[in-house]
Amino acid sequence: MKSRLCEKLGIEFPLFAFSHCRNVVVEVSKAGGFGVLGAVGLAPENLEQELKWIDENIDGKPYGIDLLIPSRMDHKNENSQTSDDLKALIPKEYYNFVDNILEAHDLETGDLWSGKYGIDYTHNMREAGANKLLEVAFRHPITLFVNALGVPPKSVVEKCRDKNILVGALTGAREHAVKHVAAGVDILVVSGAEAGGHCGEISTMVVVPDVIDSVKSNQDIFILAAGGIATGGQMAACMAMGAAGVWCGSVWLTTPEAETTPTVKKKMLEANARNTVRSRSRTGKPTRQLQSAWTDAWASPNALKPMEMPLQGVLARPAMDKIDRKASAGHEGAAALSTYYVGQAVGLMNEEKSVKTIVYEFMEDYVEAVDRLSKTLK
């Protein structure tokens, strides 16, 4: 494809894949798109291993990494605060509430808070922790760094500039775009409410043109549309609105390469577009995910109000980990509770396909869509 962004990044097709799974990143970049590894949950030594593996398997194709350094989070600047300090801040009634949810689904909770389940990665969401991950990433040939949930810190933008790495930021509204551009961001990943994971309230079809309008005087900014996109026709629609490409997170989750557990993958393949909810029950900020007995419990009239980030995540992660492990071992109650981030595009993900097949289908579908559109002109 002829495009300024493709030329700048050395890619054939401006389909960007967000994934926590290194295999997805590699397969997308090798097929002509651009893979971005979500690294917030990794310790620096694990990130080193993942990036080394990517370098060995990606055939020299470009890729990037993504972190999550929120602008607003309780205890954001308390670098010396440990995981145990955070756990101690969670009121007892919250632990009891989660115990009750699991026990109502026949899961033992005796070992739930023993440290055996779930990793607390709050430190990676603070600038100091994120910098450690970036130090690792800078030793590898990444060409894009993307930040979620806020404006990337100035020091990070400057380091990326020095190393010729483009900077992107997740953008859910016009006002975010203005702040990102002022901070020196090159690529706005404009994500609608349909998206999996953390998401805003405005639909992709509205937020993308609104953000494009907000930066129209700055020709150097690239816009990637995100949220609900699972086909090349949707990609063509976004590019018709002025996006330079698209950024997808959900569509990879039902591939054989993905990190999803068999239970979650089956639920996703069977789900329709109505089967996701926007819930604060996992991180404290709204995330779109599969509706399950877990999200239902937090939405019930007697539920506690989810805490803010990061405490809600510190509370939820051990429970989600135990649920996933037990569901994988065939536990019925755990299967009912199990959920994972996914967007409304889950309704379009009805068949397990390889990552490569998905990228090639995007390309074919894009060409057909452009052809269809061009026939509308006399």
Q: Which residues bind ligand FMN (CB under 6 A)?
A: 18, 38, 40, 66, 68, 146, 148, 170, 191, 194-197, 226-229, 247-251, 340-343, 345
CB of 378 to ligand FMN, least distance (A): 35
* Token reading at 150: 């806020």
Shorter beta-carbon distance to ligand FMN: residue 27 or 194:
194
Closer CB to ligand FMN, 94 or 167, in the complex: 167
**Strands 166-171 and 276-279, sheet pairing:** unpaired
**R_g over Cα of the chain:** 20
Residue nearest to ligand FMN (CB): 249
Question: At its nearest, how many Å lie between ligand FMN and the CB of residue 95?
Answer: 25
CB of 236 to ligand FMN, least distance (A): 16
Minimum CB–partner distance for residue 84 and ligand FMN (Å): 24
Q: Choose between 333 and 343: whose C-beta lies nearer to ligand FMN.
A: 343
Between 94 and 227, whose beta carbon lies closer to ligand FMN? 227
The verdict on whether omega for the bond into residue 256 sits within 30 degrees of 0, i.e. cis, is no
Alpha helices, DSSP H, located in the chain = 4-9, 22-30, 44-57, 83-89, 92-103, 127-137, 154-162, 174-182, 204-214, 232-240, 262-270, 293-299, 311-328, 332-337, 355-374
Cα distance between residue 349 and residue 273, in whole Å: 9
- DSSP label at 319? H
Using an 8 Å Cβ cutoff, are 240 and 306 in contact? no
Smallest separation, CB 57 to ligand FMN (Å): 21
Pick 94 or 199: Cβ nearer ligand FMN: 199
Crossing angle between the packed helical segments 44-57 and 127-137, to the nearest 10 degrees: 30
Within 10 Å of residue 333's Cβ, how many Cβ atoms? 18
Closest to ligand FMN by CB, 94 or 243: 243
Give the nearest distance from C-beta 155 to ligand FMN in angstroms.
19
